[in-house]
């Protein structure tokens, strides 16, 4: 009897525990935005969503704290959020202003920490003043459509951008909307006040879960590091300096290698982030080729050199900007200023480095080890004469036609020769006038 009872209990335990054993954990991925919205953040978000698809994440939680940033990059992030098929919840643990508000509204659920804020999405330029109305109109449209997509009041979203918008019993003209946590909850722009990601999961009754935090790989962190106008300016300086020192000491190789590495580090991050278009890169190399043609082929400095400089400067600036073939409508003036400053600063810094550092570098021990610094004087026995005996005054005949260069025969030996411009036929008598290295200058002997 006891044995039978034990067997029944054992079977009950197995049956009750079977569903638990077979139950899969909910895969939760957390990503962070805690800086200004720019191309680096846009690339981070895109890679994060790719990783989420790879690990088959069931829920994504975005930890957000930002005062905003570039509108075009924010729009790219919003597009990534909207097209993702799994739930995306945002946890605003401090601020979601401007572009941060737009990104938050695009998420399926909004959670805010005590003391957090959301709103103030007016588009501003570099000095903090409001941008022209065409930018505000574009931002109003995005905010309105994003709010409608997620079932939130589009009028409120519009009021976060434009101070002229009036929202009944909530906002009068003259101010943009910025919600505290309690105000956001009251107006449907926040689900709840929470203190952590774990509390969000608890409120949504997600118990059996595995939480992973997305971090950029070492390679991606390096790419993000170089997506910085200041670093770009330093790379431009290295490119210019490397090319100059290679031209000053041909064959050394190290300055050219440094210049090429800097060029790759400059171009690749912007290309991978979608900023550097193919035509901009082509324009850069065309400019370099024009400068080289001006130096090595075309005498003087003219149209090719000026065009080359213009193409180089223009393409270096455009590579850093998210323009659509010279369409800067949604490129903030601040970004154009920083890109121009980085390019001009890098080129100017390179010129100053060459002017002040070139002479000192040529006198350094490192330079003297790789460059020929001695002079071969004739008094020390060095000579460029290839003939063992004086040839001036010797006579012979033209071995080939000279027009003006050719070959002559003197004392049964054939030598390279040239005339002052005279035309000499084979067999004509000649006389050596000068010796220039391995070549003789001759004249025709007339009767």
How many residues does this entry show for the chain? 447
Q: pLDDT tens across 338-371, in order?
A: 788 888 888 787 667 666 655 555 555 555 555 5
Q: Which of 136-140, 218-222, 358-362 is predicted with the least confidence, judged by mean pLDDT? A: 358-362
For the residues 161-171, what does the mean pLDDT come to? 82
Q: Are the C-beta atoms of residues 331 and 321 closer than 8 Å to each other?
A: yes
Task: Reply yes or no: is the peptide bond before residue 404 cis, omega within 30 of 0.
Answer: yes
CATH level 3 topology of 25-215:
2-enoyl-CoA Hydratase; Chain A, domain 1 (3.90.226)
Of 48-57, 108-117, 189-198, 221-230, the poorest mean pLDDT is in 221-230
Supply the angle between the helices 333-352 and 229-248 in degrees, to the nearest 10: 30
Superfamily of domain 385-444: Nucleic acid-binding proteins (2.40.50.140)
* β-bridge mates for residue 408, sequence order: 398, 415
Distance between CA atoms of residues 16 and 373, nearest Å: 89
pLDDT of residue 300: 57
Per-residue 3-state assignment (H helix, E strand, C coil) for 52-101: HHHCCCCEEEEEEEECCECHHHHHHHHHHHHHCCCCEEEEEEEEEECHHH
Q: What angle do CA 34, 40, 45 make, to 5 degrees?
A: 70
Whole-model pTM above 0.75? no
Cβ atoms of 60 and 85 closer than 8 Å: no
How far is the C-alpha of 266 from the C-alpha of 246, rounded, in Å? 19
Q: For the chain, what are the domain ranges? A: 25-215, 219-369, 385-444
Structure tokens at 260: 């090429």
Q: What is the pLDDT of residues 24-66, one digit of tens each?
A: 789 999 999 999 898 889 989 999 999 999 999 999 999 999 9
Cα dihedral sign for 255, 257, 259, 265?
A: negative
Cβ atoms of 46 and 274 closer than 8 Å: no
What pLDDT score was predicted for residue 5?
A: 44
Cα gap 406→439, rounded to integer Å: 10
pLDDT for res 347: 78
| C-alpha–C-alpha distance, residues 30 and 40, integer Å | 18
pLDDT at 9 over 50: no
């Amino acid at each position: 009897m006891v044995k039978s009872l034990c067997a029944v209990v054992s079977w009950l335990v197995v049956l009750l525990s079977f569903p638990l054993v077979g139950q899969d954990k909910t895969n939760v991925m957390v990503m962070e935005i805690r800086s200004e919205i720019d191309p680096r953040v846009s690339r981070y978000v895109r890679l994060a969503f790719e990783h989420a698809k790879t690990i088959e994440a069931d829920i994504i939680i975005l930890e957000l704290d930002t005062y905003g940033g570039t509108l075009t990059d924010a729009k790219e992030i919003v597009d990534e959020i909207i097209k993702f098929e799994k739930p995306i919840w945002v946890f605003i643990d401090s601020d979601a202003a401007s572009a941060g508000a737009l990104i938050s509204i695009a998420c399926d659920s909004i959670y805010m920490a005590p003391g957090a804020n959301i709103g103030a999405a007016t588009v501003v330029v570099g000095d903090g003043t409001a941008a022209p109305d065409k930018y505000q109109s574009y931002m109003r449209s995005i905010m309105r459509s994003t709010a409608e997509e997620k079932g939130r009041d589009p009028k409120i979203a519009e009021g976060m951008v434009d101070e002229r918008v009036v929202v009944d019993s909530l906002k009068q003209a003259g101010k943009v909307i910025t919600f505290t946590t309690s105000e956001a909850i009251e107006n449907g722009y926040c689900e709840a006040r929470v203190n952590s990601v774990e509390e969000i999961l608890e409120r949504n009754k997600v118990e059996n879960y595995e939480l992973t935090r997305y971090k950029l790989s070492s390679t991606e962190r390096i790419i993000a590091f170089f997506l910085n106008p200041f670093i770009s300016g330093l790379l431009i300086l290295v490119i210019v300096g490397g090319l100059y020192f290679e031209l000053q000491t041909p064959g050394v190789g190290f300055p050219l290698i440094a210049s090429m590495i800097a060029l790759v580090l400059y171009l690749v991050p912007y290309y991978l982030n979608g900023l550097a278009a193919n035509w901009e890169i082509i324009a850069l190399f065309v400019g370099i080729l024009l400068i080289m043609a001006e130096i090595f082929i075309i005498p003087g400095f003219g149209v090719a050199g000026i065009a080359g400089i213009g193409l180089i400067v223009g393409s270096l600036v455009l590579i850093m900007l998210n323009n659509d073939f010279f369409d800067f409508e949604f490129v903030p003036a601040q970004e154009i200023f920083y890109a121009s400053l980085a390019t001009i600063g890098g080129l100017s810094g390179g010129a100053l480095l060459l002017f002040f550092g070139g002479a000192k570098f040529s006198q350094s021990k490192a330079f003297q080890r790789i460059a020929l610094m001695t002079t071969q004087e004739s008094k020390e026995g060095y000579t460029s004469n290839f003939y063992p005996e004086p040839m001036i005054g010797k006579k012979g005949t033209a071995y080939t036609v000279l027009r003006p260069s050719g070959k002559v025969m003197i004392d049964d030996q054939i030598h390279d020769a040239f005339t002052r411009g005279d035309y000499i036929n084979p067999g004509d008598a000649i006389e050596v006038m000068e010796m220039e290295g391995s070549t003789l200058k001759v004249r025709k002997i007339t009767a």
